[in-house]
Structure 1
Amino acid sequence: MAIWRKWSRPKTESKYPARLTMHQLWMVSLSAPVSRDKDASRTTLYPFTRIDDAKAEAWLAQQWEITAPEQLLGRLGRLANTGYRAMAQRRLGVAPLAWDVALYVDISRRGFACGMLTEPDTWTLLKNIVPAVAGTYASWQEYADHYLLGRQVWRDNLEAARGDGEGLPAPQTVSDAHLRSLLDPANRTSPWNLAPWEAISNPDRPRRRG
């Protein structure tokens, strides 16, 4: 029954038919490392391939204790200004901005999906972090490397805090494989191939269909 309900939901494109511009896809693609689920959409602002607002709302509540717009904006502000990279800076002397940015974009998209953010406000939030990201990295490879570094520090901290290892997120090898797929030049569905890193520094334009 649950499977039937899932496939009975409308596809995201039926509700949001407008194709993202190159700049918009680039901004959405910042969360691609986080989006490993089969139902994740990596080419729309809406985070899933089918409309499921309740799933976005439940995720924010369970994973981030976000149940109201002001909590969401507060969390985004902390990720933008300090985030988990401060912990990595103390431990390794490196501040992996990419890890915080991927989470920032993922949370923003889920906030949009469950109605805590309007579409224009979500795009504004994403645009706000572009200068820092584009000024820090020169390629998706660099972005991916820092994402993995930030995730490893975060996961190590969780493991140390929990001791028994119960309930930990996916092993780093899972994230490694996902990033390799995103970076693979032969992967035609990778948003990082559809929106090359340098696209954000060029004038925005509509994307070709095909």
Structure 2
Amino acid sequence: MTDQQSATESSNNLVNQWFGADFARLHPLLQRLHLQGGALEGDVELTYGRGLAGLIGRRLGRRLGLPSEPGRVALRVEIGHDAQGLHWNRVFAGSQRMNSLFTPHGRYPEGHWSETSGPVTLQLGVAITEGGWFWQPRAMRLHGMPLPLLLLPRSHAYKRIVSGPTGERYQFSVSFNLPLLGQLLGYAGELEMSAS
């Protein structure tokens, strides 16, 4: 591939187009991941809430394709994009799949992405903090129906690069909480680029 072809592909990339000049503010490893695609692997800690929050979290987790039991689980994330949008296909514990399609709307910073995973669609803005990509939830639909703000789970999700003894790794954290009830579910960990 020539430098000109590479530059053309970069400028045609959905993520690059959506961020515009601010794409350069992302950590270089996050830029490369979203320009070239690839797969990340590692272990994450899967958690569910307690009581009613845990019950709701497990039901939501089943619908999203998450394992039903909490604990340390292997995670593989395959990232790519096409004309439909940005694909994040997650495989937990070698068999449980959670496929997400992110479609861009508008441009950074006012625009957002719509993430569809099974029956759930989230409207997500983005903040760039110290090179990391932090999602900012704006709305949620379940089976196409908007949830009232009082019922809207609060989510905290990000991807960033951290340095450790073995080099730089991709750190992920995703959690959903309900007002008054607390955490429904979450998973977090550090992944490395897969050779395959």
**What TM-score, normalized to structure 2?**
0.29
Query: Would you tell me which structure has more strand in proportion to its own residues?
Result: 2
Q: Which has the higher helix share?
A: 1
RCO higher in 1 or 2 (8 Å CA, sep ≥ 6)?
Answer: 1
TM-score by length of 1: 0.27
